[in-house]
Amino acid sequence: MIKHRGFPGRLPGTDFQFVIRRANPRGVTPIIRRERHGDRRPADKRADAGFVAALWNNFGDQPFVRGNLDAGRLSWLFGREVIAAEDPFDPESYDAMLQINLKLARASFPEVFGE
């Protein structure tokens, strides 16, 4: 499992995790598409924006390996702001390639991109 050095471990001042420390010995947690509803807590929305900002600052518009990025946090964005960058995509692989969907990420999180 690739560890993304320099990637923030969590949203500062919170317990919202962005990375995992070690591979899960019972198997890889799959990335799934989680629905975000309009009544989500403001803290959850800040965590999503913080994670998108960290992805943008570390990878830009280039494909990146899932590695030690938290599956739960990725799942809140997957299929929208974060998309598969390979076909076929294995949601249960630490080597899976992902990419930011810039058009949708800019629309969803304009504060991250200064728009």
**Residue 11 pLDDT exceeds 90:** no
Contact 106, 55 (CB under 8 A): no
Domain ranges of the chain: 1-115
Residues 49-97 have pLDDT tens digits of 999 999 999 999 999 999 999 999 999 999 999 999 999 999 999 999 9
Q: What stretches of the chain show up as alpha helix (H) in DSSP?
A: 42-59, 71-75, 102-108, 110-113
Predicted TM-score (pTM) above 0.85: yes
